[in-house]
Amino acid sequence: MRAFVLQAAVTEAPELLRCHQKASLGRRVRGSAAFFAHRRVTDSGSAPLLSHKHSGTLCGERRLVATMAWRSHGQTNEQLVDALVRNHIITSPRVQDAMRHVDRGKYCPQGTSPYMDAPQPVGYNATISAPHMHASCLELLVEQLQPGKRALDVGHGSGYLVACMAHMLGEQGKAFGIEHIPELTQESIKNIRSDHPEYLSSGRVTLTTGDGRQGIPEHAPYDAIHVGAATPSIPAPLIDQLAINGRMILPVGGPFHQELVQVDKQADGSVETKSVMGVIYVPLTERSDQWPVR
């Protein structure tokens, strides 16, 4: 399976690359290293802080992706997806179709830049991930996000990725999301209702408030699981809720050393894991740590 090697260009977006420029972040991943910062921001709407370090030489086909991350911007959703395709982040027609069908602008608050290839604040010390990371995770899960299957998004945030999953799963599929901030759950429902209300009315999308580390056992098993925040280790309940031949994608690690990990459950129930790329996500935390009661 190919690795998604996403390289940023400082000259393209200098305003995005202004923190954590530390040599300790450098780590080789299949001949190169990529780091993506999904940092919490304040509710004032201040820009998210992003970082990237790269080392090593790209060769062969990897030169084709040497300029793609953080550069897939647009003024509209169509332009954004066009850029993601042009920059070889989206390669599957099904992922392309889903991201064209679900308008990212409906899932970002007013005053943000939904079609910039960067995380955007969605309130409650949370962000919606950069488009290239959503596209990459959907590509990694494309074989599991088949019509009629079931998927779970842990830390669904604005509801965007759940909606993309629902589109890929078709009318007979089920996409579930869990978020520990109830206000975000309600905002996500509003967002999906403004974009594709039929996903909610038909039961294709179900959003729940709770501890995402525990998953949603009553709706398991899931063919695809996506976790949108970093955990020190892979939560056992999520492994238990992964279907046979299912796949989970999640960031694992601490604040400055994380890997995007692919977890595959085999036909005999055993689990295989592999590192896909280096990343930096916000941690999967307790609700009180992310948004204390005011």
Active site members: 129
Nearest of 190, 127, 138, 203 to residue 164 by alpha carbon: 138
Which helix (H) or strand (E) segment is 86 a member of? helix 77-86
User: d(Cα 130, Cα 90) in Å, to the nearest integer?
Assistant: 13
Nearest of 224, 239, 241 to residue 150 by alpha carbon: 224
User: d(Cα 235, Cα 217) in Å, to the nearest integer?
Assistant: 13
User: d(Cα 110, Cα 60) in Å, to the nearest integer?
Assistant: 42
User: d(Cα 223, Cα 173) in Å, to the nearest integer?
Assistant: 11
Distance of CA 70 to the CA centre of its chain: 14
User: d(Cα 78, Cα 3) in Å, to the nearest integer?
Assistant: 25
Please, are residues 276 and 248 in contact by the beta-carbon 8 Å criterion?
Answer: no
Nearest of 177, 178, 155 to residue 166 by alpha carbon: 177
